[in-house]
Structure 1
Amino acid sequence: MTTSFSVKMLLTSTTVGLTLLFGMPAQASSITVPDSMIVETVNGQNVSIKNTIGLSRGQQLVEINYRDLFQDNADDSGHWVRSESLYLTLEVAENQRYELATPDIYSAEAARDFLDNPQVTLSINGQQHKSVALLTQSQLLTQLVLR
């Protein structure tokens, strides 16, 4: 029994090692979004719901949704402010950490104002902070047509 168990362990270890070596693409770059945002897709491919998503090198189209719950007072059950899909185009370099940050939003009114003109701060490796506009679907299509 111990020989059979050892062979199974060796085969399992080898399979896992080969899968890790050849079966999964390395994604050394990533994007992190605040808790109020969800990355829905990258280049049209669904991604798992996490705050940090791996990115491949090159031009990337990131689909993001904003959503946050606001309460006016302690007795208020609150209400959600949600966006339609918003898009970020990003030229991704290798081994970079991209991070999006929204302005400080403390009320539903401020959230709606933000969604009227969704500007976020993009930082790369904790530096190079720049303001970036998130595009609506119609703005993205217009931008693509004009290229």
Structure 2
Amino acid sequence: MRRVLEKKDVHRRSKFRMPRQSSSIFAVSRPEIPVQSRPPSSIPARIFASCLTSVLVAVHYTNFGPLIPTLITDIHINSGQAGLFSTFLFLGLAVMYIPAGILADRYGQRPVLIGSSIILVLGGILLPLFPNLVWVLACRFIVGLGSGAA
């Protein structure tokens, strides 16, 4: 059985509602401000957050080229093992691309971007604390996970 919608049902279910007129004689009329004319207050903060995330991701992509000779002597690894730094970063990127898209669709872009930035910074902070190749590669993978979601 199909139910025929009455005129009042159509207006009740609509996403876009018209402002109701007050029936009180004491109602104060106030002008309605259209949404388009209101200045958004958080646009500078959003632009700053986007730029900061882009810089964090770019720094982790490019900062290991000049450091490889120093890392080879400090961690006592060869050049093949030093090449794993980029491999683990891009492996983390590849692992996180699809789940990050699903999470962004489900929870929104803002929480995913904030979480990925936290993961990215956490991996970057932990990276110089470990003098072992396995832990450095694990931190590079964590940085890749954060970069993949950003």
Q: Report the structure number with the largest CA radius of gyration.
A: 2
Q: TM-score range by the shorter chain?
A: under 0.3
Q: Normalising by structure 1, what TM-score?
A: 0.27
Q: Which has the higher contact order (CA 8 A, sep 6+)?
A: 2
